[in-house]
Amino acid sequence: MSIDPTNISSAQDIMEYLEIQNEPTYLNLKPSSFLSTLFNKTSEIWDQKVYPHYTNHDTKHSMRIINTFKDFEPLYEWTNYEKIIFVAASLIHDIGMQYNEWKIDPTKFIADKYIFFRKAKYSEKEIRDAHELIMFELIWAQVEKKFDAIKFPPVLFDVNNEGEREAINMASYVAACHRGKKFLNLFVESGERGTYSQTTRDGDDFRPRLLAGTLRLCDELDGSIERFDNINKINLIADESKKHWLACAFVKGVEVRVHGLGLHNSGADLILTWQVPREINSQDHIKEKLRIKHFVEEERMNKISNEISRIQKFYVDCNEHHHFRKFKVKLHNTEPNDSVLDLGFDYFDIIPKLGYPMPGEKTIDDSQSEHSLESGQVLKSNSIETRNLLHVQLELLDWYERNKSVIHTVLVNGEHTNIFLQLRSLTMNQKLLRLISDYLYRLHRARKIDTVMGIGTSAIPIAVNVAYRLNCAATFTFIPKYSGGNIDEGSFEHNPSLKPEDNILIIDDVISGGRVARKIITQIEKNYDISKNVFYHQAIFRLGDRELQSNPDITDYFQIVHIPDVIYAPDELNCPQCQDGGEPWYEIDG
Amino acid sequence: MIVIDPLRQRIHNGLRNGEENILNNARGNYGNDNDVRELLELYSEARMNIITSEPSYVSDSRKYIFIDLTPFDRVGKIEKIITQLNESRDVRPVIMYMSPAVDSQIKAIKTETPIICIAYSGIGNLIDITNGTSRLDNNLVIQVRRDIESLGIENNIVHFRRWIAQQRLTNMLIEGDGLYVPVKDQNSKTIIYTAGRYYKRMPNKMLVSSYIELKKLARNVEQLTEVAYEVILELACHFRRDIDAFDEFDVIVVPNNTALFIASAIQAILEKEVIPIDRLGPVPRLPRQRQKIKKMLGGKKCVVLEEVVATGNELDRTVLFLSDMDVEVQKIIAIYNLEVGKAMIPEAGKLISLCSPKKEINYVYRSD
């Protein structure tokens, strides 16, 4: 059952839909009272929309977000308190957009912590760019009981109830995460024992970081024709918003289909149903349909995928990897129907002007991107390479979560780690190898690579796959761990048999400090005239933030997945080396 | 004898394109325009090699090239393929096949020049070498039959292909830059001259007259595919139709990096997992990785792939380790076997050597 956003009349409807229990909960919070007040007061805030030409941000938008939240329930099994906080966050997250209607006395907000409340009015762009911070300051001010300074909006909660104060405060942090990085970083920096870490409330799990990530995703997913109150107002939209506005117009809705429940790789398919309006000339139907599909892929699918990647990285940064799920965005086409009416303008001309040619047509951007590849710079854009990278990153992060061992280990080279990766299981996975090699092929195909060299053991299969794709030679070498890392140059095993004129792509499975890369390059330096050759170094995983040892012979270097936070080996009472205070870091056994 | 393997070319294209399910797709969908064009190009190249390598006064009625269609159950555009191949009068195609469907397809083709075919049964036994009715073709059929009989092998596809593998892999060593032969080098302390020839001193202090550099040979990815293909033929039991050969093992185990290098191509083709268990010491224990490897391998059936077997010691360590891991070894495939020693631990009959070039390369393994 889903909520009909146009038919919500009370918080009670929401509570019934989400099956929120009404018993008093953490710090004597009474759910019905709290949510009813919040629902009624936020509805008042949205009574007169300041920007009616925008896609709607009001309670209907909040209800659609709550719908999607419920769709994710099988994956996360929301607790009662989590549902309350999420509903609250959904209701308040966009109220900052109404700031110019509020009656605030800026003179009462001269304290440093209030930044936005020092002015009574802002421009449309300023509001749009900071509305989550505006919302946050409102809640803050109300928690601090600055009622004399705020005539409107009304107070959103019972200020004398400790439970409601705590709940609205937490909801404001979750809500502020829906946009930008400031509050996400706050959640990351709060550390393992911080306020926003997973904990329990009234005996149930409470996962504020998961709620923050979920709100962000649900908000991004609500980009469809339903966001429009008045579809003909595109000319009033600022140019930078036109793309997003128009892309939403072609999307009928998003459906969430969960899968793999109970398995380690559970997740959901996020299916974007898109459609072509009826006005298309039937003779040009296919061509225009392709154009719109390309547009929707770039503006909606790509953005949603970006957001998923950002959220998954957020969970990793917070050390709450267990929230990670496999989300995949898919497109589904439907026939036009009456919900897409005459837009009042010729959007077929607008789309190419916004930078979306037909697939296969070249633009200035395309030629610039080829130039960028030739000069060795990594392409950063909303291009197919970016989408491929996101897909690869998600798959690798998923693999990382399932295959890491969190145990204190002393490696064969004497170093400590508290994360051990069995990389052999990655190289046994041909599907993953194909994904990685496909990405590396796209990245390097414009370069004149003569040889792909894998650093054994784990990078050898990757190097072979990439060499086939690039149609160049393949070879390998390795750094022996038992001999102190010294390479026997006379050894057939180590000798990669490079040709002097080769341009080489080096592939390593893991890089941390760049020590192995340095040894390999030193070996090559001894045998070849490197002033003529070009060496690229590509790693699959980069672990930690240890500064890479600089090496001028690596013309560029990049990793596919960065697992941040230096992984220090925890103090191990029985480990003599830890006892001596030796500085631990890590290296992954290949 | 020259054999063209259309399946191998198709597999190579699949690897170049990063396809999924390469082997099944290649076997199931062979015969599109691109396949036809590539086969004709390969045939033309092979034909030119034959023509230019033999003196012109040798009779041209006995030159031929095998086209191995045995892996395919059906071949698309087979009429076009055979008609165009058959236009070559100086070097004739001999079509090898196993499938009854291909047999029907061929019999339905009407060509001016009769088609020379070798039909094999579903278990690989040679049924017949067939031809047309002209005297010229009878001579060719007789020639082909005699040439195969002169190999001294059983009339079975397995033996014939293994004979071809021996020739191919030996030629690759010699012509494909895969054999290191020590020569005089005053700057090197590891080149030793004794008993009339130069030797290379290996890390175990033994002297070898040459060294198989499979890494160097397989640097060229086309040659890598060629080597991988010979291994796949063995894994597939040469595509016998009475068994599902790929069901008989779960994983491929490799004991060193060079074997992993070759096996990586095989993994990409077959999508069978390849597990390296390198760095086994003299007493093969691998204490750190034991638990993890046991979890990956325990209870499974495996094929061991060795790139070069010389004394057999590495093979013994590998099989001993696997036995300890509760792994059943179905088959051991050695790409090159230098027959210096004999592995003692593997069961008799499990080791298949694709190429034993000791005599051809005059290989010597000795102490000082």
Q: What is the pLDDT along chain A (590 residues), one digit of tens a residue?
A: 566 766 777 899 999 999 999 999 999 999 999 999 999 999 999 888 887 767 788 888 999 999 999 999 999 999 999 999 999 999 999 999 999 999 988 888 876 678 888 888 888 888 888 899 999 999 999 998 888 888 889 999 999 999 999 999 999 999 999 988 888 888 887 765 567 888 888 888 899 999 999 999 999 999 888 887 766 666 666 666 677 777 788 888 889 998 877 766 688 989 988 877 655 554 455 666 667 777 788 788 888 888 888 888 888 888 888 888 888 888 887 655 444 445 555 666 666 666 555 544 443 333 333 322 222 233 333 445 555 666 777 778 778 777 776 666 666 556 666 666 778 788 888 989 998 999 888 888 877 889 999 987 889 999 999 999 999 999 998 776 544 444 454 566 677 778 777 888 989 888 776 777 777 777 777 776 656 666 777 888 877 655 565 544 444 566 677 665 434 444 455 565 555 544 433 333 33
Restricting to B residues 3-62, those with a Cβ less than 8 Å away from any Cβ of A are: 15-18, 20
Cβ contacts of A490 on chain B, cutoff 8 Å: 188, 190
Angle, alpha carbons A339-A344-A346 (nearest 5°): 105
Q: Are A453 and B213 in contact (CB under 8 A)?
A: no
ipTM score above 0.90: yes
Strands B116-120 and B126-130: antiparallel
| A464 vs B20, B190, B264: nearest CB | B264
CB of B267 less than 8 A from some CB of A: yes
B274 touches chain A (CB under 8 A): yes
User: Does residue A490 sit at the B interface (CB-CB below 8 Å)?
Assistant: yes
Identify which of A461, A482, A490 has the shortest CB distance to residue B267.
Answer: A461
Q: If you ran DSSP here, which 8-state letter would residue A278 be given?
A: T
- Please state the pTM of the whole predicted model: 0.62
- Residue B193, helix vs strand vs coil: strand
Please name the residues in contact with B342: beta carbons below 8 A apart, sequence gap of 6 or more: B312
- Sort out which chain A residues have CB atoms less than 8 A from B15's CB and list them: 468
DSSP-assigned beta bridge partners for residue B95: B67, B117
Which residues in chain B have their CB less than 8 angstroms from residue A464's CB? 221, 224, 261, 264-265, 268
By the CB < 8 Å criterion, does A497 face chain B? yes
Pick the more confident residue, B113 or A484: B113
Q: What would the mean pLDDT of B323-343 be, rounded to a whole number?
A: 90
What's the CA gap between B74 and B100, in Å, rounded?
A: 9
- The residue among B172, B205, B199, B165 whose CA lies nearest residue B185 is B199
User: Residue A418 pairs with which residues in a beta bridge?
Assistant: none
Instruction: Inspect the interface and report whether the beta carbons of B221 and A497 lie closer than 8 Å.
Output: no
Residue in this structure with the two tokens 């192995």, named with its chain if needed: A516
CA distance B332 to B346: 8
A412, A478, A492: residue with CB nearest B213: A492
Interface test with B, best of A403, A464, A478 (most B CBs within 10 A): A464
Q: What is the pLDDT of residue A165?
A: 93
Which residues from A are below 8 Å from B216, CB to CB?
497
Calculate the average pLDDT of chain B: 88
Interface test with chain A among B260, B271, B277, B336, by most A beta carbons within 10 Å: B260
* pLDDT value, residue A229: 72
Higher pLDDT, B21 or B114: B21
CA–CA separation, A59 vs B3, rounded Å? 73
Put simply, the answer to whether B215 touches A475 (Cβ < 8 Å) is yes
Non-local (6+) Cβ contacts of A73 within 8 A are none
Per CB-CB distance under 8 Å, the chain A contacts of B18 are 434, 437-438, 441, 465, 468-469
Contact residues, chain A, for B264 at CB < 8 Å: 427, 460-461, 464-465
Containing A405, the helix (H) or strand (E) segment is: strand A404-405
Q: Where are the beta strands (DSSP E) in A111-235?
A: 150-152, 199-201, 204-206
> In angstroms, what separates the C-alpha of B216 from chain A's closest C-alpha?
6
Cβ within 8 Å of A, B 162-201: 180, 188, 190
Instruction: Please list the alpha-helical segments (H only) found in A177-301.
Output: 182-189, 208-221, 239-249, 285-296
Query: Which chain A residues are closer than 8 Å to B258 by Cβ?
Result: 493
Cα separation, B324 vs B326, in Å, equals: 5
The alpha-carbon gap from A61 to the nearest alpha carbon of chain B, in Å, equals 42
pLDDT of residue B147 exceeding 50: yes
Task: Compute the distance between CA of residue B32 and CA of residue B43 in angstroms, rounded to an integer.
Answer: 17
pLDDT value for B11: 96
Q: Cβ–Cβ of A474/B221 closer than 8 Å?
A: yes
* Four-CA torsion A290, A296, A299, A300, nearest 10 degrees: -150
**Maximal C-alpha separation, chain A:** 83
Residues A166 and A208: their CA atoms lie apart, in Å, by 13
Q: Give the pLDDT mean for B24-41.
A: 91
The predicted structure's pLDDT at residue A533: 67
Weakest-pLDDT range from A330-344, B95-109, B257-271: A330-344
CA distance B348 to A542: 47
Instruction: Check residue A7 and report its DSSP letter.
Output: G
Residues in chain B with CB shorter than 8 Å from the CB of A492 are 180, 211, 213, 215
Residue A488 with chain B: CB contacts under 8 Å: 203
Task: Find the closest chain A residue to B204 by CA distance.
Answer: A491
Cβ-defined contact of B224 to A476 (cutoff 8 Å): no
Q: State residue A434's pLDDT score.
A: 92
Residue of A420, A468, A493 to mutate when probing chain B, most B C-beta within 10 A = A468
Q: Is A468 part of the contact surface with chain B (CB cutoff 8 Å)? A: yes
The number of angstroms, rounded, from the C-alpha of B110 to the middle of its chain's C-alpha atoms is 34
Q: Which residues in chain A (355-414) have CB-CB distances under 8 A to chain B?
A: 412
**Residues A156 and A92: beta-carbon distance below 8 Å:** yes
For A170, list phi and psi in degrees, rounded to 5: -65, -40
Residue of B nearest to A467 (CA): B221
**B261 inside 8 A of chain A by CB:** yes
Pairing mode, strands B301-309 and B251-254: parallel
| Coil vs helix vs strand at A504 | strand
Cβ contact, residue pair B265, A457, below 8 Å: no
Task: Report the chain B residue with the minimal C-alpha distance to residue A456.
Answer: B257
